[in-house]
Amino acid sequence: MKNNVLKASLFAVIFLAIISFVRGQNYSFEVAPFSESDSVITKSVDNLYLATDSDNGESSHLTINSDERLNELLEISKEENKRNNGITGYRVQIFQGEKDKAYGLKARFLQSYPDYEAHILFKTPDFRVRVGDCRSRSEAIKIKYLIEKNFPNAFVVEDVINYPKLKTD
State the CATH number of the domain containing residue 110: 3.30.70.1070
Tell me whether residue 3 is in a domain. Answer: no
Tell me whether residue 127 is in a domain. Answer: yes
Tell me whether strands 39-45 and 60-66 are parallel, antiparallel or unpaired.
antiparallel
For residue 94, how many other CB atoms are within 10 A of its CB?
26
Model confidence pLDDT, tens digit, residues 13-22 = 676 667 666 5
Which residue did the predictor score with more confidence, 110 or 64?
110
Q: What is the pTM of this model?
A: 0.55
CA distance 26 to 126: 64
Statement to judge: residues 93 and 60 lie in one domain: no
Model confidence pLDDT, tens digit, residues 97-156 = 999 999 999 999 999 999 999 999 999 899 999 999 999 999 999 999 999 999 999 999
The boundaries of the domain holding residue 117 are 85-161
Tell me whether residue 77 is in a domain. Answer: no
Q: Which of 93, 83, 82 is nearest to 158 (CA)?
A: 93
Paired strand residues for 165:
none
Tell me whether residue 63 is in a domain. Answer: yes
Model confidence pLDDT, tens digit, residues 22-43 = 565 555 545 555 555 444 444 4
Tell me whether residue 142 is in a domain. Answer: yes
